[in-house]
């Protein structure tokens, strides 16, 4: 069984982001990590291969610095990786999906593809759906339980009201992993050392026949989130407080 895992190199959610101009941010001193939801995909892929045999291939679209994230995935058990290099901090989701598809076409299509349910940086929640569309594969997102039986995959996902939805798909397919699917392993030192010797194939976007300037979505301007002012305590009777709250929402905040 060949399983590909799409892994994104993202800023640590605890990092302090400083903008650089209108369309970028300072990234030279920021700690980058594997997208947390992607780690559930890595763990599930490695566990399946340990059980059924095969290989796990990590596919990443990002800068050269993304190699550190790829090595982390390899320390968890991935066998090899493909890095599609780009200089863009915010590559259009459609271009990203096309780049991943082209890399997989070149490498040989897998039996399963894992992604995280979404990325914690841009949160576009589009790439895995577009990838499945370009590959003509079924996709289920936010999967928290998975069983493989020969060429059939049975997954569960939580829907509204805490209900559980069970879906059966045929391989090949795309799985968007989320918390609850498993508990990602913590690599041991020998695994970290072994990961340094595992192969990473690097390809430029142009080498896949993709023009990085032809995205469908572009960023016009980035702005920091305004700092929130301190809380305001309302005084008086309940009626007075309600009246004052409605006035604030109408006149000051203009949300009513």
pLDDT given at position 243: 92
pLDDT at 230 over 80: no
Average pLDDT, the chain: 92
Are the C-beta atoms of residues 134 and 97 closer than 8 Å to each other? Answer: yes
pTM (predicted TM-score): 0.85
H or E segment and range at residue 68? helix 67-75
Average pLDDT over every residue of 32-59: 96
Q: How many degrees, rounded to 5, is the angle at CA 218 between CA 97 and CA 91?
A: 35
Inter-CA distances, 243 with 122, 191, 200, 234, 237, Å: 39, 63, 63, 10, 10
User: Picking from 64-73, 147-156, 221-230, which range would have the lowest pLDDT averaged per residue?
Assistant: 221-230
Cβ-based neighbours of 45, under 8 Å, separated by 6 or more: 3, 5, 56, 78, 112, 114
pLDDT given at position 222: 84
CA-CA distance, 127 to 94, in Å (whole number)?
6
Find, among 166, 142, 169, 137, the residue nearest to 153 by Cα: 169
Average pLDDT over every residue of 30-52: 95
What are the residues facing 72 on neighbouring strands?
none
pLDDT in tens, 193-208: 999 999 999 999 988 9
| Structural domains of the chain sorted by starting position, each given as residue range(s) with its CATH number in brackets | 2-208 (3.40.50.620), 229-256 (no CATH)
- By residue count, the chain amounts to 256
CA-CA distance, 161 to 12, in Å (whole number)?
31
Are the C-beta atoms of residues 249 and 129 closer than 8 Å to each other? Answer: no
pLDDT given at position 38: 96
pLDDT given at position 215: 79
CA-CA distance, 95 to 21, in Å (whole number)?
23
Cβ-based neighbours of 162, under 8 Å, separated by 6 or more: none
CA–chain centroid gap for 52, Å, is 25
User: Picking from 186-190, 210-214, 241-245, which range would have the lowest pLDDT averaged per residue?
Assistant: 210-214
CA-CA distance, 97 to 82, in Å (whole number)?
14
CA-CA distance, 184 to 36, in Å (whole number)?
10
CA-CA distance, 6 to 130, in Å (whole number)?
13
pLDDT in tens, 60-105: 999 999 999 999 999 999 999 999 999 888 888 999 999 999 999 9
């Amino acid at each position: 069984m060949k399983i590909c895992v799409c892994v994104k190199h993202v800023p640590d959610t605890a990092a302090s982001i400083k903008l650089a101009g209108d369309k970028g941010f300072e990234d030279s001193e920021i700690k980058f990590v594997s997208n947390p939801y992607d780690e559930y995909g890595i763990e599930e892929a490695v566990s399946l291969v340990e059980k059924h045999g095969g290989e796990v291939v990590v596919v990443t679209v990002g800068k050269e610095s993304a190699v550190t994230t790829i090595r982390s995935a390899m320390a968890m058990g991935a066998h090899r990786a493909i890095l599609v290099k780009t200089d863009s901090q915010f590559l259009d989701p459609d271009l990203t999906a096309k780049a991943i598809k082209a890399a997989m076409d070149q490498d040989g299509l897998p039996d399963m593809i894992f992604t995280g349910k979404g990325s914690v940086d841009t949160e576009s929640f589009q790439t895995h759906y577009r990838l499945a569309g370009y590959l003509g594969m079924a996709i289920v997102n936010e999967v928290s339980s998975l069983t493989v039986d020969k060429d059939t995959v049975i997954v569960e996902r939580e829907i509204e009201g805490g209900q559980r939805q069970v879906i059966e798909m045929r391989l090949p397919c795309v799985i968007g992993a989320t918390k609850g699917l498993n508990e990602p392993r913590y690599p041991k030192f020998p695994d970290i050392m072994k990961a340094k010797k595992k192969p990473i194939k690097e390809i430029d976007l142009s080498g896949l026949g993709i023009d990085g300037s032809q995205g469908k979505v572009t960023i016009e301007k980035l702005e920091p989130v305004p700092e929130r002012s301190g809380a305001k305590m309302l005084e008086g009777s309940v009626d007075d407080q309600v009246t004052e709250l409605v006035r604030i929402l109408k006149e000051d905040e203009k949300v009513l």
